[in-house]
Every structure is written in structure tokens, then in C-alpha cells.
Structure 1
Amino acid sequence: MRKAQFVLGSIVLVWLAGGSPARADYDYAWCIQNSEYGYPGDCSYQTREQCLMSASGRKGYCAQNPGYTAVRPPLQPSLRGRRVPPY
């Protein structure tokens, strides 16, 4: 009985430890898209250059993340009609 419990416990431990690779929740602007990653792909790249360097040799391509929501800076008030003092 102890041997069966040990074997069952070992199987459960291995199953829990090796379920799937850890994934960080990245949501950056650029994604590698190919058959391995599907759609929208591996979106862990902040710049297009990073994505292109990582996609090199992988038979994939880089595309913008359709779900990316960048925090945009607030709009500056228009300076039209205002007098701006020289420095």
C-alpha cells in the first residue's frame, strides 16, 4: 500500500511541476506571428527592431499587436494665438 501511495504521489508531483511553461503576461506593441504562436502571436516586444531580431530565422514575421493599448501622453494645449516669450 505504501508503495502505491508513493508512486501515485510521485506522479502527481511530476504532473504539477511540469504542467506547462511559465508565461508572463506581456502585452507589448509588437508580436511575432507564425504557426508556432498563432494569432496574435508572441507579443513580448516593445519595439519593432526587437521583434525583427527575435523573428530572424524563425520563419515568422512581426506585426503590431491588435490588442495593445498604449498609454498616451495627454494632449498639449494649442499654442496658436498665444504669445510665447523668448528664452
Structure 2
Amino acid sequence: MKFRTGSVAVDKLFVALKGEAKLECMEPEIAVTLRAMSLGAIKMEVQITPDQLTQEHRFTFAIDQSYLQPLSSQCVRRLTAFPIRGS
């Protein structure tokens, strides 16, 4: 089960507490994936690369499900303040 599109994906993950949510970016150099683990734990993986051919940087964080609703709200605020143009 994979969910996409920022706050919607995070909201669905919060309700289901299973599967994963991908926070997609227009820039291919950054990606964030949230994966539900057992007992409400969430694995957050951030991938960043300045050069896709020669480098990869990956950071993994363990967060709690209580972080999901504030994250969803932040996604909505950012997209409201900085809407995607031309879509």
C-alpha cells in the first residue's frame, strides 16, 4: 500500500498505520519516505544526492505516529504559501 501527494499521503498513513507514504518533490535530488512499522512506529527515510550518478546520501529516523498530523499540517501550509505553478 503506497500513498502519494504530501499531506494526503501522510493523513492516510496516520489513519491506516500500515504501508508507506512518499513525500514527492519536484526536484529529483531529494525524496522522503515514511513507512509504518509495528506499534505505531514510523521509519522516516530521507534521500539526498547532489549528483545522481556518483553520490547517494540516505538518512533514516525512527519517529512516532504523533509526528504525522503536524507534518500533514506543515505540508498544507507550505503548498498554500508556495503553490505549484503551471500544473
Q: Which has the higher helix share?
A: 2
Q: TM-score under structure 2 normalisation?
A: 0.20
Structure whose CA Rg is larger? 1
